Amino acid sequence: MAESGPDFSMADFLGAISDTVRPSAARPIVVRAGELETLPAGEIHNPTTLSIAGKLPTATFEIFRQTIPPGSSSDMQRHHHETVHFVISGDGHSEVEDETASWSAGDFVYTPPWTWHRHYNDSAEHPVEFLTIENSRLLGLLGVGRRQSAGLVTVDEARARFRGDET
């Protein structure tokens, strides 16, 4: 089955998603905390740590554990997929386009598609821990996934850097 391009078929794609998860040794029902796969620092454009539960048998979404060190932030980025962060521990705030919202442990933070956003750890002593869930896998399978990082900049600086690249 083609994952994108002219040979892609939505019917084939949807037909390939089973109603029942078929676990195996490679795709277990449970992935233990120590089995999360930490993404290499060179693939992340900010000082956070991202660990993926990549062995879970999910077809359309990905789950990460994200750690933002004390006093740090994620990068200013936007992407076509939706994201929900569940705040496991810590306090901070997020910029999503022109809005700023504070959050703390137990809260959910929503990032709409294709919006400039950045998440900040407001503590100088303790890390922030997120459980991050995004539908990036589905969009990747459909061939429409896209992500841009502007680095550790403001929303206005990100807009200026990527002006003319709004789609």
Contacts within 8 Å (CB) and 24+ apart, 29-35: 29/57, 31/55, 31/56, 33/65
Beta-sheet strand order (sheet of 76-79): 99-104, 91-96, 117-121, 76-79, 147-151
Structure confidence by residue, pLDDT tens digits, 43-74: 777 788 888 888 888 888 999 999 999 999 99
What is the residue extent of each domain of the chain? 47-162
Residue showing tokens 């990036």: 136
> For a pLDDT cut of 90, what percent of the chain falls above it?
56
* 21 pLDDT above the threshold of 60: no
- Whether 52 and 134 have beta carbons less than 8 Å apart is answered as no
Task: Report d(CA 131, CA 84) in Å as an integer.
Answer: 8
Q: Which residue has the higher pLDDT, 99 or 53?
A: 99
Out of 6-10, 156-160, 161-165, the most confident range is 156-160
* 39 pLDDT above the threshold of 90: no
Q: Note the residue count of the chain.
A: 167
pLDDT at 19: 57
Integer CA distances (angstroms), 106 to 4, 38, 54, 124, in order: 37, 23, 24, 20
Q: Which residue has the higher pLDDT, 155 or 5?
A: 155
pLDDT at 54: 81
* 130 pLDDT above the threshold of 70: yes
Three-state SS string over 27-87 comes to: CCCCCCHHHCEECCHHHCCCCCEEEECCCCCCCCCEEEEEEECCCCECCEEEECCCEEEEE
> For a pLDDT cut of 70, what percent of the chain falls above it?
85
pLDDT at 4: 56
- Whether 77 and 149 have beta carbons less than 8 Å apart is answered as yes
CATH 2.60.120.10 fits 47-162, yes or no: yes
pLDDT at 13: 60
